[in-house]
Amino acid sequence: MKAILPIAGLVYIGNMVATHGQNAFIDCDVISVFTRLALTIIYAFGMEYVARYYHRYLWHSSALWWLHGTHHHQEPAYGTAPKYNHGNKYVDFTFELNDIFPVFFGAIATPLCFYGGTAPSYVAKDCWAGIAMGATLYGFTYFMGHDIVAHERMGKNVAQYLRKLSPTMAAAADLHQQNHHKLKKDAVDDPYGPPYGFWLGSEELQGWKENGLDYTPMPFAWAVALKSTFAVTVGSTLYALVA
């Protein structure tokens, strides 16, 4: 499911472009198309920083570690937090409880991609479609680099092929495995530590070494872009509901 949902969203976007050409967004004017493309770009890149945050402060919290811990080959008890001496047996899952997270986000983003392709077009729809497409693009690339390459969930041959195809993906996967999936005995808080993101793992690790931050904050420009566009999205949605 975590593979099917982002792929379905991308296939739909590609089909719209292929079959409708310049009218790929159905009855959209120039401003509408610009809005969708701008939010797609903002969220495709910005989701890396969002992923860092929720990975660090939600997935590795005592509230959700019982789910995410399965990705670290454990079966943590509900309400426990990551620990160096965790006392959990090593489990090699085929399907992890952690897979619930991408399925949940994909189940939201994919219908919004479809919704954005329906007529008529208006501001709220443009915004949600752009956010959904950006998140879908990020989710797909994360799935490729994290699940298929770093964790070889489609086998070593597929992972090796993608490693040769993209040295950047291979480097990000290696950083993820070498740093985030090894317990650190001297850690003050989380024994796994950074990088909590994926594609900008080297930048995140550098920030940790220089500033002692195991979560490198989002750059100011990206924070403003994400917060302002999301505020416009919520505001235009409320307006559409009451108008």
Q: For residue 92, is it within any domain?
A: no
User: Is position 34 within any domain?
Assistant: yes
Q: What is the pLDDT of residue 21?
A: 45
Inside any domain, residue 119: yes
Q: Which two tokens stand for residue 171?
A: 């480097």
* 105 is a domain residue: yes
Residue 32 pLDDT:
82
DSSP-derived 3-state class of residue 169: helix
Please tell me the total count of domains within the chain. 1
Helix and strand element counts for the chain (H, E): 9, 0
User: What's the pLDDT tens digit per position in 136-172?
Assistant: 899 989 999 999 999 999 899 999 999 999 999 999 9
The range of the structural domain enclosing residue 44 comes to 4-84+98-242
**Strand boundaries in 19-68, DSSP class E:** none
pLDDT beneath 50, residues of the chain: 20-26
Determine if residue 61 is left, alpha or beta; phi over 0 gives left, psi from -120 to 50 gives alpha, anything else beta: beta
pLDDT digits (tens, 9 = 90+) for 79-90: 999 999 999 988
**Is 90 part of any domain?**
no
223, part of any domain: yes
Residue with tokens 């920083």: 49
pLDDT for residue 197: 95
- CB–CB of 74/88 below 8 Å? yes
Residue 144 lies inside a defined structural domain of this protein: yes
Residue 57's pLDDT is: 94
- Residue reference for tokens 């195809």: 165
- Please report the pLDDT score of residue 6 as a whole number: 57
What is the helix (H) or strand (E) element at residue 43, kind and residue range?
helix 30-54
Tell me how far apart the alpha carbons of residues 214 and 208 are, in angstroms, rounded to a whole number: 5
Question: What is the rounded CA–CA span in Å between residue 93 and residue 157?
Answer: 19
